[in-house]
Amino acid sequence: MKVVICGAGQVGYGIAERLAAEQNDVSIIDTSADLIRTVRDSLDVRGFVGHGSHPEVLAAAGAEQADMIIAVTLHDEVNMIACQVAHALFEVPTKIARIRSQSYLQPHYMDLFSRDHLPIDVIISPEIEVGEMVLRRIALPGATDVVTFADGKVVMVAIECLEECPVINTPLAQLTELFPDLPSTVVGLSRNGSLFVPRSSDQLLAGDLAYVVTTKEQVRRTLGLFGHEETAATRIVIAGGGHVGLYVAKAIETRQSQTKVKLIEKNRDHAVAAAERLRRTVVLNGSALDQKLLLEADIGHADLMVALTNDDQVNILSSVIAKRLGCKSNLVLINNPTYHNFAGTLGIEAQVNPQAITISRVLQHVRRGRIRAVHNIQGGGAEIIEAEALETSPLVGPPLSEQDLPEGMRIGAVFRDGNVIAPSGSLRIKPGDRLVIFALEGVVRQVERLFRVSLEFF
């Protein structure tokens, strides 16, 4: 696939890195010569200095032969015009744009992005995507990652196995025998930095991070089985009143009426604007690093500190300070990938990576075949994929026990006619089934081929 990316920041670079690693033909455009130099030096992609919305720059980057344009610059207007130019002058089939301003995304204005106006096929709104991820993490304490599939009926949770976890040192096959009515499947394990698909004879060890696919109704029971019975937070302090912080606070007011929220915002104008838009949330103007202000927010009695400012260092340090002042737990937004690995050693219990969320949304549309959703795991080490089986799929027909499935792939759940079915050796896949699959990086392409539209289909 030939892809043109506009924007070589953290998100653009991350997308280019993933696509180049999968042998796609990638061109990347940015106005910063330094960023383009970095991309050229470290990735197997072509780099162009210029504006992604300028026709001559898009032409030089190969837009005439491109299958897709992905516009993720810092400016919504540049992203929109880049897609417009790519459509009008180069007939690029698929156009993806990152749009951050919520004013463009009001439901009554969505006709703006129709094919007759601004022809954008996929709109990515990082604030909404990240905000929803934060809300899922708040709702399910104890999970280090939460993603929903199949119209919200299937949930993938990443669960840390602690020393007191009741299911460690037990073969996975035995867990199935002990809890036959629990539709939960361990599809992947991360152990000592290594990510792999476990066999039924494998055991969970203390320190493992288990990726488990289950149903929406059984996700809390599954967390409890792994020793995580943390109660949901009812007193929350949010640091950062920008787009994400405001989105999360408004959603909590709407969805969790019993939860008390206090929001800290450094910029006075932003704090005033947030106070005007929020009804029950107490808004405080000042720095989240100010211990006096944190004490004024009653951080010592808070269940959860959620740090969502634009500054990673402020997010990390304010969360560390909050824990030392008595806050029970924390959830931190971290953009810089260099901070992800050691944040835990500082006392950061849970973190959200906006870059990984945006890349996952893009990959959903890059993947060939009937791919409905993709979630990126551990910097691309694996993916959780929701895909629809067609009549010509090799998965359809024989029971799973007779299937020659790729090593490094595990089916976590099957969604059929509104019901979730736990996989078993006797299960036969039918056309129209939606499968939630864990796939290691090396077998993603093979999984794609299982769900491609065959010529026989026509």
Answer CATH for 2-124 from 2.60.40.420, 3.40.50.720, 3.40.50.970, 3.40.50.150: 3.40.50.720
Most confidently predicted of 52-61, 143-152, 175-184, 345-354: 52-61
- How would you list the strands of the sheet with 282-285, edge to edge? 282-285, 260-265, 235-239, 304-307, 329-333, 350-352
Q: Do you know the residue count of the chain? A: 458
pTM: 0.82
Pairing of strands 185-191, 122-124: unpaired
Q: Return the pLDDT at 112.
A: 78
CA angle in degrees (0–180, nearest 5) for 226-433-381: 50
Alpha carbon distance 293, 289 (integer Å): 8
Whole-Å CA distances, 299 to 248, 327, 400: 18, 6, 52
pLDDT, tens digit (0-9, with 9 covering 90-100), for 227-276: 898 888 999 999 999 989 999 999 999 998 889 999 999 999 999 999 99
Among 110-119, 166-175, 296-305, which is the least confidently predicted range? 110-119
Residue 456: CB partners within 8 Å, gap ≥ 6?
392
Per-residue pLDDT band for 453 (boundaries 50, 70, 90) equals low
Alpha carbon distance 305, 318 (integer Å): 9
Contact 96, 120 (CB under 8 A): yes
Contact 437, 403 (CB under 8 A): no
Question: What average pLDDT does this structure show over 198-217?
Answer: 93
Residue with tokens 């951050």: 100
Q: Residue 137 pLDDT more than 70?
A: yes
Q: Residue 456 pLDDT more than 60?
A: no
Q: What six digits make up the tokens of 221? A: 């029971």
Alpha carbon distance 197, 414 (integer Å): 18
Report the Cα–Cα distance between both ends of the chain, in Å, rounded. 23
Alpha carbon distance 245, 342 (integer Å): 24
Among 53-57, 111-115, 200-204, which is the least confidently predicted range? 111-115
Q: Pick 295 or 103 by higher pLDDT.
A: 295
Task: Report CA 348 to chain centroid distance, whole Å.
Answer: 19
* Mean pLDDT value across the chain: 91
Domain with CATH 3.30.70.1450 in the chain: 130-225, 357-457
Alpha carbon distance 8, 145 (integer Å): 27
Contact 155, 183 (CB under 8 A): no
Q: What six digits make up the tokens of 98? A: 């990152």
Burial of 287 from C-beta contacts in 10 A (0-12 / 13-18 / 19+)? middle
Among 90-104, 399-413, 414-428, 441-455, which is the least confidently predicted range? 441-455
Alpha carbon distance 395, 399 (integer Å): 9
Per-residue pLDDT band for 369 (boundaries 50, 70, 90) equals low
Contact 409, 429 (CB under 8 A): no
Among 403, 409, 397, which residue's Cα sits nearest to residue 448? 409
Q: Residue 110 pLDDT more than 80?
A: no
Question: What average pLDDT does this structure show over 73-96?
Answer: 94
Strands (DSSP E) along 294-408, which ranges?
304-307, 329-333, 350-352, 371-377, 382-388
Helix (H) or strand (E) holding 174: helix 172-178
Among 260, 302, 300, 268, which residue's Cα sits nearest to residue 284? 268
Q: Residue 170 pLDDT more than 90?
A: no
CATH top class, domain 235-352: alpha beta
Domain with CATH 3.40.50.720 in the chain: 2-124, 235-352
Q: Residue 368 pLDDT more than 80?
A: no
Strand partners, 29: 6, 48
Question: What average pLDDT does this structure show over 123-148?
Answer: 90
Q: What is the second-level CATH architecture of the domain 357-457?
A: 2-Layer Sandwich (3.30)
Among 385, 381, 394, which residue's Cα sits nearest to residue 437? 385
DSSP for 253-313, written as a single string: HHH-TT-EEEEEESSHHHHHHHHHH-SS-EEEES-TT-HHHHHHTTGGG-SEEEE--S-HH
CA angle in degrees (0–180, nearest 5) for 421-422-426: 95
Residue 207: CB partners within 8 Å, gap ≥ 6?
160, 161, 191, 192
Helix (H) or strand (E) holding 432: none
Name the percent of the chain lying above pLDDT 90.
65
Q: Residue 458 pLDDT more than 60?
A: no
Alpha carbon distance 407, 426 (integer Å): 19
Among 257, 244, 249, 264, which residue's Cα sits nearest to residue 319? 264
Q: Residue 367 pLDDT more than 80?
A: no
CA angle in degrees (0–180, nearest 5) for 156-144-271: 115
pLDDT, tens digit (0-9, with 9 covering 90-100), for 30-47: 999 999 999 999 999 999
Among 47, 98, 1, which residue's Cα sits nearest to residue 359? 98
Q: Residue 303 pLDDT more than 50?
A: yes
Question: What average pLDDT does this structure show over 217-222?
Answer: 93
CATH top class, domain 130-225: alpha beta
